[in-house]
A and B are shown apart, each in its own frame.
Chain A
Amino acid sequence: MSEIALEPTLAAEPRSRRGIRALDLAIVTALLLALWQLVGRATGGIAITPPLGTLAYLADLVQTSLFWDHLGATLLAFAIAFAISAVGGLALGLLLGLRRFAGDVAEPILAGFYTVPKVTLYPVVLLVCGLGLSAKVAFGVMHGLVPVTLFTLGAIRTLPPVLVRTARAMRLDGWQTMSRVMVPACLPDIVNGLRISFSLSLLGVLIGEMFSSQRGLGFLLVSGLAQHNVPLTTSVVFVVVVGAVLANTLMLRLGRGTSGRE
């Protein structure tokens, strides 16, 4: 389990430190922008466009329907993949967490699948699903399903037994035990799993688009490279990075919110 919990734990902090943190964050952002500018300058714009140029290009790009078309294709595939991963992973994790034996049998298999380079399996997905939306979604699910499952499974296993006993004492039925006791108790871990599955589903969908697809941001990225359209590639990377970081920050906040409510 600890294999997947990668991020450093951000401890709660007093208010006075917030100012310093904001300053630090500003400095780090400025440094990253400076690095970007530097690399862009040093290579004379053959590989990366500097920040300002990228933003200018992006401002034009968002006015074209082409961009929204590709963005929409990626978002659609991603939304379906993430929804399937979340619901399926939650159900599977609850099931395996409650059936101890099945959980013991399945956990190493899932963890093994998690560390395997799944890109190599993409041709199989393409051959089975055909080109198009379903292949991207299937690939996204392959990446995103396992983290939610493993996190939910782990959370249920480490659940204090007193909670289950209390539920029994209160004569809650199975469904109530699940929805009123288990899921709320495991919520912080589940949110964590969802956060990781979020980024991995996105990765899966993007890789799918990069390899063999006619639509989506991943396709736009690769076609930008093929046409030597440097501003286009840089803009797409920028959009994906900003979107991913924002979503992740939001979910980190959400996770801290759920764990604070004891």
Chain B
Amino acid sequence: MSRSRTVILVRAAVLAGLVALLEVLCRVGIVDPMAVLPPSEMVGAMIDQLRSGELDESMVQTFSTIGLAFGVAVALGTLGGAVVHAVPRLRRAIDPLLASYYAVPTFIFYPLLVALLGLGKLPLVVLGVLSATPAVVISTLAGLDGVPPVLRKVARVQRLGRARTLWLVVLPAALPRLFGGFKLALSYALIGVIAGEFILSGSGLGYSISFAYQSFDSRAMYGAMLFVLLVAVGANTLLYVWEGRLARRRLRT
């Protein structure tokens, strides 16, 4: 226990040291303060922007897009995974496709999506879904594979129907793996949507960063950037903690 505490302390110290180093380098002028804002000013810029409400609209836009993409990806991916799992032939055919899916930078489809669906929320949602769904499919397959056969036998002995077997036996057994997939799906949806807004769109947090960059407003840029990074890290940490709790509860029962 004490070792893991030391590790956490050292980790915090390392991160704090890096931030402090950046601050000093900027203040002394080794790093051009025009190019990189000192961290303390980044925080100030972020707080200013949040207070002024400049980012409110972008935030609503971006988070609703990410949420939508994530929801659709989870639903589609779980369902798709279950179907593929049920048909071995289909699975064999799809395996190579899944194996090379993430080798293709999904993002390059974005210009095509914009041409197809117009500039707006829809191509971003589709981009998020495209990049997040396969992760859910893969983790669903892994989760269903990992359900011990004895549990299915128990379900049969108890004469559970299909729906109840799925709900009471298969789902809880597969949940940890599924959860891993959901976690990935969230970060992929987040990356996809924000990257899309950044490169080509008219609204959202990613857009406000690239707009600030193009108009040389480095305060606004760093403020928005820090906010996005904090939100991303926060969301991931939350899921990480939740996942750990889920795993511990499984161990107890």
Contact B199 A211 (CB under 8 A): yes
CA distance A128 to B200 in the complex (A): 23
| A183 adjacent to chain B (CB < 8 Å) | no
Q: Which of B7, B36, B142, B233 contacts A127 (CB 8 A)?
A: B36
Q: Cβ of B183: which chain A residues have Cβ within 8 Å of it?
A: 3
Residue numbers of A with Cβ under 8 A of B are 2-3, 6-8, 10, 20-21, 24-25, 27-28, 39, 43, 46-48, 101, 104-106, 108-109, 112, 115-124, 126-128, 195-196, 198-199, 202-203, 206-207, 210-211, 218, 221-222, 224-225, 230, 233-234, 236-237, 240-241, 244-245, 247-249, 252
Contact B232 A115 (CB under 8 A): yes
9 contacts between A and B (CB under 8 A): A8-B99, A48-B116, A116-B229, A122-B198, A124-B225, A127-B35, A221-B108, A234-B112, A244-B103
Given contacts A199-B103, A245-B103, 14 further A-B contacts (CB under 8 A): A28-B93, A28-B94, A116-B229, A116-B232, A119-B191, A119-B195, A120-B206, A123-B209, A210-B199, A211-B210, A222-B199, A237-B111, A241-B104, A244-B100
Q: Cβ of A126: which chain B residues have Cβ within 8 Å of it?
A: 213
Interface size class of B (residues with CB under 8 A): 35 or more
Q: Cβ of B116: which chain A residues have Cβ within 8 Å of it?
A: 39, 43, 47-48
Q: Which of B115, B194, B195, B198 contacts A225 (CB 8 A)?
A: B115
Q: Cβ of B142: which chain A residues have Cβ within 8 Å of it?
A: 8
Give the secondary structure class of B's interface: helix
Contact B195 A25 (CB under 8 A): no
| B166 adjacent to chain A (CB < 8 Å) | no
> Which of B8-16, B44-52, B167-175 forms part of the interface with chain A?
B8-16
Contact A203 B111 (CB under 8 A): no
With A8-B141, A245-B104 in contact, is A117–B112 under 8 Å at CB?
no
Closest residue to A25 on the B side, CB-wise? B96
Contact A252 B236 (CB under 8 A): no
Closest residue to B227 on the A side, CB-wise? A120
Q: Cβ of B141: which chain A residues have Cβ within 8 Å of it?
A: 8
Residue numbers of B with Cβ under 8 A of A are 7, 10-11, 14-15, 31-32, 34-36, 89, 92-100, 102-105, 107-109, 111-112, 114-116, 135, 138, 141-142, 180, 183-184, 187, 190-191, 194-195, 198-200, 206, 209-210, 213, 218, 221, 224-225, 228-229, 232-233, 236-237
Contact A207 B195 (CB under 8 A): yes
Contact B115 A46 (CB under 8 A): yes
Most buried by A among B103, B195, B200: B103
Closest residue to B14 on the A side, CB-wise? A105
B135 → A minimal CB distance (Å): 6
Q: Cβ of A24: which chain B residues have Cβ within 8 Å of it?
A: 89, 92-93
Q: Cβ of A234: which chain B residues have Cβ within 8 Å of it?
A: 112
Contact A2 B104 (CB under 8 A): no
Closest residue to A249 on the B side, CB-wise? B100
Q: Cβ of B109: which chain A residues have Cβ within 8 Å of it?
A: 237
Q: Which of B10, B35, B94, B96 contacts A105 (CB 8 A)?
A: B10
CA distance A27 to B97 in the complex (A): 12
CA distance A59 to B93 in the complex (A): 30
Q: Cβ of B228: which chain A residues have Cβ within 8 Å of it?
A: 117, 120
Closest residue to B198 on the A side, CB-wise? A119
Contact A199 B105 (CB under 8 A): yes
Q: Which of B10, B103, B198 contacts A247 (CB 8 A)?
A: B103
Closest residue to B89 on the A side, CB-wise? A24
Q: Cβ of B198: which chain A residues have Cβ within 8 Å of it?
A: 119-120, 122, 211
A57 → B minimal CB distance (Å): 15
Q: Cβ of B218: which chain A residues have Cβ within 8 Å of it?
A: 127
Contact B36 A123 (CB under 8 A): no
Q: Cβ of A20: which chain B residues have Cβ within 8 Å of it?
A: 92
